[in-house]
A and B are shown apart, each in its own frame.
Chain A
Amino acid sequence: MSQPSNELMIEARGVEKWYPNGFQALRGASLTVRRGEVVVIMGPSGSGKSTFIRTFNALEDFQKGSITVDGIVLSDDLRNIDAVRREVGMVFQQFNLFPHLSVLDNLTLAPVLVRKRPKAEVEQQAWALLERVGIAEQAGKFPGQLSGGQQQRVAIARALCMEPRILLFDEPTSALDPEMVREVLEVMQNLAADDITMVVVTHEVKFARHVAHRVVLMAEGEVVEEAEPEVFFTNPSHQRTRRFLDQIL
């Protein structure tokens, strides 16, 4: 496992968010992630995990607190938001592949349109990425023709094709049949061995134990516990964490 450096990639301080209907989903959540680090976020349903990581690439706005991503302060400035999104990739629970584009075009769309790179060059990179996640032979197919596990691996490759410095995962295996979970987790584990920074919302305890540098527990819109995996699972310092672990282990 590569060791994280001291450089801060994500720094969220006291983030508070209200949804338009007045519901407060985040109540002062804070988290720092260093370069190369793999952080797993766990927590009960509705605790604000998705909301929290979606603020990191400005898919959700927030009203109080501050977030800095790769040195860029997230504010209402649209240029900052675009810059952050180029640096941060995201993998969704429902894959969200573009169904009208072939697998290869799913990968090349953004690099060509956003980074303005030549199509031929991006395609070469896309082939290499598909090779890496083990589905190069499906490049010409459409997403609807792939299994869930294959689709999620394409989604990971699509995010990687933008060469992001940070990858966010929001329950990447929750929508998958059990036998497909492993193939996706393996791909993620391989990624973690690289230099890339990862924030992963997941309930996969084995992944958290063996791959994460740090595990975080969220509850009621706050970060309650933050510890190394060993400590988190065997000797957590908060009552809330123990109760949560009792439920899932």
Chain B
Amino acid sequence: MNSLLRRLRAELFATRTDTVLSLALITMLSLGAFGVLRWALTQAQWTVVKVNSTLFAVGRYPVEQQWRLWLLTALLVAASGATWGLLRAHPRPDRTGVLWPRNDRLAVGLLGLIALAVPWALELSLAIASRWWGLAVLLVLCRWLAGRFGPGLSPTGRRLAALVWPLLYLVGMVLISGGLGLVSVSPSEWGGLMLTLLASSFAILLCFPIGVLLALGRRSDLPLLRWGSVLYIEFIRGAPLITLLFLGQNILGFLLPGGLAPDRVWRAAWVLTFFAAAYLAEAVRSGLAAVPRGQLEAARSLGLSYPKALQHVVLPQALRVALPAMVGQFISLLQDTTLLSLIGLLELLGTARTVMANPAFLGRNGEVYLTLAVLFWGCCAALGLGSRALERRLDPHAVPSAT
């Protein structure tokens, strides 16, 4: 406690100017926070969120099929917990593995708190609330199991474990849209947070390889490839996303024969993907530019082919440099999905607008928008935290030496 006070004093009140600035900032911040809190606790009427929580979460997904989404969530939570534990159990070879560092204990505590507080705040039924608790227990359990038994895993075993994620993505697609014996649920019934996450994860996953290829194309020796990449990147970056979304809805239908034209949701997801890829390519390009020429030359002089040199020497370094910029792109991509509401898709913002249009909830815009902001903030914070952890893991100079 004493050291905390001393640190506060050193950081905030070291000189007179510091003190004045700190006091002014603290006053303003607490006034703002106090105002929002007072509004949220006394004036706001949260029934609009409580009543519509399912709508915000999954849109008009058929009630009798929602168990599929719970199952998917449980699978995702289990995989996340296991991955988390495995990463802790297998630190970089030169770092001592602490299974439960302080940050992890804090994170688990926070997640537990969320699992307790959210069902209570939303006044969810006991059946639903217990599912939240179950998810929290599942997460900690999987993390513990992976931390306990992960170290015994062979390198091949670990590589196989990583395959769980792409597999899970396919399973998730089937669970959400149906098929393989499950009743099909058409994309027009998807919505809410689920649609937001689905569209953005789809775009993030696919824009990554496309963006890397575009960045490489832009540096290629082949003029056709180079000019093609430049043209694509500059065209996409020159057009506002909303026009591209409208264009996509209208043109893809014309270009492809009727049966092949993807559904409106998928059309939008593809447009998002191609849009994000152009920006990602620029981030990757700056990463590539940061890798000295000598790296490629050294790799080539050791006999590595060009693709192998890229894969093992140049790209790992370039992507490490580009990582913060790329995550920035992913975060804005996540927020850009709100534009889907303008082409009539009911993702988070679209759902919110239908709720606010309901006369029963007239004038409850503040509550709805605040909820939206918190949800988006949570997703972006998770992305940011993940990327920071990845960055630390990838930085060879940040690790203490072995000897």
How many chain B residues touch the partner (CB < 8 A)? 27
A59 touches B320 (CB 8 A): no
Return the contact of A100 from the options B93, B294, B317, B403 (Cβ within 8 A): B317
Interface string of B207-233 (1 = CB under 8 A from A): 000000000000000000000000000
Q: Give Cα A85 to B303, complex, Å.
A: 5
Contact indicator A100/B297 (Cβ below 8 Å): no
Contacts A59-B297, A140-B94, A142-B399; is A100 near B316 (CB within 8 Å)? yes
Q: Which of A65-102 contact B (CB under 8 A)?
A: 82, 85-86, 88-90, 92, 94, 96-102
Question: With a CB–CB cut-off of 8 A, which chain A residues contact B298?
Answer: 90, 92, 96-98
Is B316 within 8 A of A85, CB to CB? no
B295 to A: closest C-beta gap in Å: 6
A109 touches B294 (CB 8 A): no
**Interface membership of B363, Cβ < 8 A:** no
A25 to B294, CA, bound (A): 20
Q: Flag A133-172 by CB within 8 Å of B: 1 or 0 each.
A: 0000110111111000000000000110010000000000
Given A59-B297, A92-B298, A99-B317 in contact, is the A114-B399 Cβ separation under 8 Å? no
Cα–Cα, bound, A143→B399 (Å): 12
Is residue B402 within 8 Å, beta carbon to beta carbon, of the partner chain? Answer: yes
Please pick, from A110, A137, A140, A144, the residue contacting B397 in the complex, using a CB distance under 8 A.
Answer: A144
Provide the bound-state CA to CA distance between A97 and B89, in Å.
29
Cβ contact within 8 Å between B297 and A140: no
- B294 contacts across to A, CB distance below 8 A: 92, 94, 96
Chain B nearest CB from A165 CB (Å) reads 13
Q: Are B304 and A89 in contact, CB atoms less than 8 angstroms apart?
A: no
- The answer to the question of A249 belonging to the interface, with a C-beta cut-off of 8 Å to chain B, is no
Given the known A-B contacts A102-B93, A138-B403, A144-B396, are A89 and B301 also in contact in the complex, defined by CB atoms under 8 Å?
yes
Closest A residue to B399 by beta carbon equals A142
Instruction: Say how far A161's CB is from chain B's closest CB, in angstroms.
Output: 9
Q: Smallest CB–CB gap between A96 and chain B, Å?
A: 4
User: Is A248 part of the binding interface, using a Cβ–Cβ cutoff of 8 Å?
Assistant: no
Which single residue of chain A is at the shortest CB-CB distance from B295?
A96
Chain B 77-95: CB-based contact to A (< 8 A → 1; otherwise 0): 0000000000000000110
| A113–B402 touching, CB < 8 Å | no
B50 within 8 A of A: no
Does residue B312 face the partner (Cβ distance < 8 Å to A)?
A: yes
The CA-CA distance from A140 to B299 in the complex, in Å, is 20
Q: Most A CB atoms within 10 A — which of B295, B299, B301, B316?
A: B301
Out of A59, A92, A113, A144, which one reaches B308, CB within 8 Å?
A: A113
- B300 and A114 form a contact (CB under 8 A): no
Residues in chain A near residue B42, CB distance under 8 A: none
Asked if B305 is an interface residue, CB under 8 A from chain A, the answer is yes
Q: B402 near A109 (CB under 8 angstroms)?
A: no
Across-interface contacts of A99 in B (CB, < 8 A): 317, 396-397
Segment 313-346 of B: residues with Cβ below 8 Å from A: 313, 316-317, 320
Kindly state the separation between the CA atoms of A97 and B396 in the bound complex, as whole angstroms: 13
User: A57 contacts the other chain (Cβ, under 8 Å)?
Assistant: yes
Q: A102-B93, A137-B403 are in contact. Are A85 and B301 (CB under 8 A)?
A: yes
Distance between Cα atoms of A141 and B93 in the complex (Å): 10
A113 x B304 contact (CB < 8 A): yes
Q: Within the assembled complex, what's the spacing in Å between the Cα atoms of A57 and B299?
A: 12
CB proximity of B124 to chain A, nearest CB, Å: 47
Query: B302 near A92 (CB under 8 angstroms)?
Result: no
| In contact, A82 and B303 (Cβ under 8 angstroms) | yes
Q: Could you tell me the distance in whole angstroms from the C-beta of B316 to the nearest C-beta in chain A?
A: 5
A-contacting residues, B348-403, CB 8 Å: 394, 396-397, 399, 401-403
- Contact between B295 and A98, CB atoms less than 8 A apart: yes
Chain B residues with CB below 8 A from A102, complex form: 93-94, 396
Q: How far is the CA of A184 from the CA of B292 in the complex (A)?
A: 23
In this complex, the member of A86, A100, A109, A144 whose beta carbon has the largest number of chain B beta carbons within 10 angstroms is A100
A82 to B308, CA, bound (A): 13
Inter-chain contact B301/A145, CB cutoff 8 Å: no
| 6 extra interface residue pairs, beta carbon distance < 8 Å, beyond A59-B300, A96-B298, A98-B298 | A82-B303, A109-B312, A110-B299, A114-B308, A140-B403, A145-B397
Question: A interface vs B, CB < 8 Å?
Answer: 57, 59, 82, 85-86, 88-90, 92, 94, 96-102, 109-110, 113-115, 137-138, 140-145, 158-159, 162
